[in-house]
Amino acid sequence: MSWEWDVIIEHFPRLLQGAILTLELVLFSGFAGLMLAVPLALMRVSSKPWIQALPFAYIFFFRGTPLLIQIFLVYYGSSQFEFIKNSALWPILREPYWCAIITFALHTAAYIAELLRGAIQSIPKGEIEAAKALGMSYPMMLRRIILPRAFGIMMPAYGNEVILMLKGSALASTITLLDLTGMARTIIARTYTPLEIFLAAGVIYLIISALLILLFRFLEKRFNRHQHWPNEKPKDLDPQHIEN
Amino acid sequence: MGFKKLMTAAALIAATLSAPAIAGDKIRIATEGAYAPFNMINADGELAGFDVDIAKALCEEMKADCKIVAQDWDGIIPGLKARKYDAIIASLSITPERSRVVSFTDHYYSNSLTFVTGKETSFDPKMVEGKVIGAQRATIAGQYLEDNLGDKATVKLYDTQDNAYIDLASGRLDAILSDKLPAYDWLQSKEGQAFEFRGEKIDIDDKIAIAVRKPDSELKEKFNKALKAIIDNGTYEKINAKYFPFSIY
């Protein structure tokens, strides 16, 4: 078995090009997914069953079906209907790039919404009661207490979800996109050196994961900085820390 | 298991047991199963097509015990190298790159490339500026597009030929560059009615052969001998006529 380093060196720039597309897909879909997840999670924690029903069905569908099937449904499915092809949506849906971002965003939103729901429900009751006692309105409570606290609580699990999406994004290669995996497969189709090229692609995925882990460690510290006494002085009195 | 299936299985076992003792070695042959009419999965869920018929005729000629397996296209050469099977009969073209990693027998048919586009479109193979053209990944057509039209047109590569047809029908592609023979088959089908060949065929001196691992020269010689025999005795011609009204050798 001969190992060809030249192949890796020669094709590395193209792999990096693929990696940039992978990053774009993960970041854009991750951001859109998060935006979508917030209202879904807030509806999910509602005490009224008819408000809960919609996010419940949504989350059930997107968590219960494989991402590959979802991306095929959006990409190949949308082109089967004349009314979609005649609609204003077609310029977007005819592009594999947007199909991938839409699918990934819808998919990850379902998972993030569940994480966020769990986080919201695990905020200590006292903090919500304190906010209410101070006379905060619901929107202000959301902005100042509930969402910042929930983000802090869910941050480790959310980092995990983003890394899962990074690896899930390899499925973009099935709808003709030249992301890191698609690029690797296209190169291998010519060089027949799957071990070398997939190893190089794997290393790039590892590096991106490592960067994401660092980013989320930073975000975790930032959102939960009130807990990291005495490195940072709490601006408000926090009964948990006074005894220290 | 139904009674009929049980009887078939029993008959198969009996046939295997009663096979002449001189029956040759067991040869595992890979094909793709998504490249009609050369290799596809038929209504009964079995592999069929020109490649499969040729493989069966060769095995019969060699008196070998063959097993034909389906393998996804872009893993088909790595699978051969990894000894998952011993030969590839999957409409594999002889190319310099492939010849570096596998050994080819004599060719068993020849192919050319051609553009396929909608009958109503104005697509002109001589003016592809700004057009979106598709092909299957890891094929001669795909490489021809990347090498010759990659800087003028947008090239999109698909995992299977069928997915490229879907996108041609949906309007995402202006045209497909395809091997002529399987495209001929698709144009005869119901889905292919609105499409046609456009422009001159591109002769790329494309010869299709059986691939074996480099060290297996004995197996290669056996295939070559059997191939010559089925061409001489008319078996090849019969199989050819089953799929195309013209000779594809």
How many percent of chain A have pLDDT more than 70? 93
Domains and CATH numbers, chain B: 27-110+206-243 (3.40.190.10), 111-204 (3.40.190.10)
Is A22 a residue whose pLDDT tops 80?
A: yes
How many percent of chain B have pLDDT more than 90? 68
Dump pLDDT digits (tens) for A23-76.
Answer: 999 999 999 999 999 999 999 999 899 999 999 999 999 999 999 999 999 999
Q: By the 8 A CB rule, do B153 and B132 touch?
A: yes
Q: What is the pLDDT of residue A235?
A: 56
Q: Which amino acid is at A120?
A: I
Is B160 a residue whose pLDDT tops 80?
A: yes
How far off is chain B from A190, nearest CA to CA, in Å? 7
Which chain B residues touch A80 with a CB distance below 8 Å? Answer: 170
How many percent of chain A have pLDDT more than 90? 79
- Give the mean model confidence (pLDDT) for residues B135-161: 92
Q: What is the pLDDT of residue A190?
A: 86
Is B133 a residue whose pLDDT tops 70?
A: yes
- Give the mean model confidence (pLDDT) for residues B192-207: 90
Q: What is the pLDDT of residue B18?
A: 40
d(CA B11, CA B193): 43
Dump pLDDT digits (tens) for A159-189.
Answer: 999 999 999 999 999 999 999 999 999 999 8
Residues sharing a CB contact under 8 Å with residue A124, sequence separation 6 or more, in sequence order: none
Q: What is the pLDDT of residue B15?
A: 47
Q: Which amino acid is at B40?
A: M
Residues sharing a CB contact under 8 Å with residue B49, sequence separation 6 or more, in sequence order: B31, B35, B36, B37, B38, B39, B40, B243
Which chain A residues touch B143 with a CB distance below 8 Å? Answer: 189-190
Mean pLDDT of chain A: 91
Cis peptide before A230 (omega within 30 of 0): yes
d(CA B204, CA B244): 20
Domain range annotation of chain A: 5-230
Bridge partner residues of B27 (DSSP) = B66
Out of B75, B98, B159, closest to residue A174 by CB: B159
**Could you tell me the pLDDT band of residue A197, with boundaries at 50, 70 and 90?**
very high
Dump pLDDT digits (tens) for A70-110.
Answer: 999 999 999 888 898 888 999 999 999 999 999 999 999 99
- Give the mean model confidence (pLDDT) for residues A113-124: 95
Out of B75, B97, B172, closest to residue A190 by CB: B97
Check if the interface score ipTM surpasses 0.95: no
**Could you tell me the pLDDT band of residue B203, with boundaries at 50, 70 and 90?**
confident
Question: CB neighbours (10 Å) of residue A151?
Answer: 20
**Could you tell me the pLDDT band of residue B23, with boundaries at 50, 70 and 90?**
very low
Asked if B97 has any chain A CB less than 8 Å from its own CB, the reply is yes
Which chain A residues touch B84 with a CB distance below 8 Å? Answer: none
Q: What is the pLDDT of residue A11?
A: 95
B18-32, B74-88, B213-227: least confident range: B18-32
Mutation target for A interface from B32, B83, B137: give the one with most A CBs within 10 A.
B137
Contact A94 B166 (CB under 8 A): no
- Give the mean model confidence (pLDDT) for residues B189-206: 89
Q: By the 8 A CB rule, do A204 and A180 touch?
A: yes
User: Residues of chain A whose C-beta is under 8 A from some C-beta in B?
Assistant: 76, 79-80, 85, 94, 96, 174, 176, 185-186, 188-192, 194
Alpha carbon separation from A130 to A133, A158, A239, B122, B190 (Å, rounded): 5, 27, 13, 70, 69
Q: What is the pLDDT of residue B11?
A: 52
Instruction: Calculate the CA A210 to chain-centre distance.
Output: 16
Q: What is the pLDDT of residue A16?
A: 97
Which chain A residues touch B95 with a CB distance below 8 Å? Answer: none
A117-121, A151-155, A188-192, A207-211: least confident range: A188-192
Which chain B residues touch A94 with a CB distance below 8 Å? Answer: 170-172
Which chain A residues touch B77 with a CB distance below 8 Å? Answer: 192
DSSP designation for A65: S
Class of domain A5-230: mainly alpha
Mean pLDDT of chain B: 88
Contact B166 A79 (CB under 8 A): yes
Residues sharing a CB contact under 8 Å with residue A232, sequence separation 6 or more, in sequence order: A225
Is B19 a residue whose pLDDT tops 80?
A: no
**Could you tell me the pLDDT band of residue B205, with boundaries at 50, 70 and 90?**
confident
- Give the mean model confidence (pLDDT) for residues B69-81: 93
d(CA B160, CA B40): 12
Q: What is the pLDDT of residue B13?
A: 52
Is B198 a residue whose pLDDT tops 50?
A: yes
